[in-house]
Amino acid sequence: MKKHNFSAGPCILPQEVLLKASEAVMDFNNDGLSLLEISHRSKPFVDVMEKARSLALELLGLEGKGYKALFLQGGASTQFLMVALNLLEKRAGYLNTGTWSDKAIKEARIFDDVYEVASSKSANYNYIPKGYEIPSEYDYFHCTSNNTIFGTQMKSFPSCDIPMVCDMSSDIFSRTLDFTQFDLIYAGAQKNMGPAGTTLVVVKEDILGKVSRKIPSMMDYKVHIDKGSMFNTPPVFAVYVSMLTLEWLKNLGGIKAIEEQNEMKARVMYSELDLNPLFKGYAVKEDRSLMNATFNLTNDNLKETFETMLKEAGISGLNGHRSVGGYRASMYNALPLESVKALVEVMSELETKA
């Protein structure tokens, strides 16, 4: 029986995507060869790459607006340094909303000056700072749209007249936004887009080429753009599964359609958290993430009972990150509402037992 998969990432993918992906591993396009055995320069794979790149732009509403989509390697963590290498000339402003923002800041500081415009570190990142200034002489502003570990999400973005860079690893393709407000978006595939192994970068071309340093080829967005995201051998399987997942999302009705489902799942989850006295949410209410709900038991003596009940109900991946503890229900695009209902049922059953 398929488990209810609340894993924070890598995480649940649509069943039909897994099925198509497994077929392609055995025989791609009924051509007598596995997807994993063909050249990345062969037409069938070049078509996959092109489709994945154009679907990403189409779903974000960025087609024909000066943006390019790339499927790179090295995870979102490599983007922490690639962003700085390509855009940081003198000084950049970073919003520190969690472990991943903090890591992005640390990497950028290797290359030049980074200023934290605001930080929620002293509150162990349980909220999103607001009302900060972004000096217009900075090279760019960097933020993290969804904080996977702490369960907070930016509901709005500052208007700024310098390029805005956003790490959307854990909420890309999950909600409608005006994506033209961003000049560079990056996201590891392993949440809403596909398996681990590739990272989507969507970049507005006109922000590139403005730094004076020499950029190593593999780190240079321009090189990857010029080579159609094929400067070196791409992670073929991860790109193919990402393409299938983006196709699945498009057929479902795109981001608008999945946003409605995500809002519904979050409503069910958070209403139980707020009604049930045995649980307490971690993030402040107004900043709660639609993707990752973080919470604790109010009475630790119930831990064993709760976890046994979760296991019996086939609920998996609910453990919180070690820096927060407690529980984290990750409700990415492919998680069905039924899974959230199954979890909520266990939570309310615990209340009747306690």
Which residue positions form the known binding site? 41, 76-77, 100, 148, 167, 190, 232-233
Minimum distance of ligand PMP from residue 189's CB (angstroms)? 8
Report the binding-site residues for L-glutamate.
Answer: 41
The residue (of 186 and 240) whose beta carbon lies closer to ligand PMP is 186
- Residue 220 CB partners (closer than 8 Å, separation 6+): 85, 86
The residue (of 104 and 278) whose beta carbon lies closer to ligand PMP is 104
Cα separation, 129 vs 95, in Å, equals: 8
Residue 118: which H helix or E strand, with range? Answer: strand 113-119
Cα separation, 170 vs 149, in Å, equals: 10
Minimum distance of ligand PMP from residue 51's CB (angstroms)? 22
The residue (of 149 and 244) whose beta carbon lies closer to ligand PMP is 149
The CB-side HSE value for 118 (13 A sphere, CA atoms) comes to: 16
β-bridge pairing 146-147 and 152-153: antiparallel
CA-angle at 72, arms to 69 and 73, nearest 5°: 165
The residue (of 170 and 333) whose beta carbon lies closer to ligand PMP is 170
Per-residue 3-state assignment (H helix, E strand, C coil) for 270-319? HHHHHHCCCEEECCCHHHECCCEEEEEECCHHHHHHHHHHHHHCCEECCE
Residues in contact with ligand PMP by the rule CB under 6 A: 9, 75-77, 100, 144, 148, 167, 169-170, 188
Structure token digits, residue 199: 């990272």
Minimum distance of ligand PMP from residue 100's CB (angstroms)? 4
Q: Before 277, cis peptide (omega within 30)?
A: no
The residue (of 100 and 173) whose beta carbon lies closer to ligand PMP is 100
Minimum distance of ligand PMP from residue 354's CB (angstroms)? 33
CA distances from 188 to 44, 52, 73, 116, 171 (A): 24, 14, 9, 23, 10
Nearest to 209 by CA among 187, 198, 225: 225
Minimum distance of ligand PMP from residue 94's CB (angstroms)? 13
Task: Report whether 234 contacts 49 (CB < 8 A).
Answer: yes
Q: Which residues are catalytic?
A: 100, 167, 191
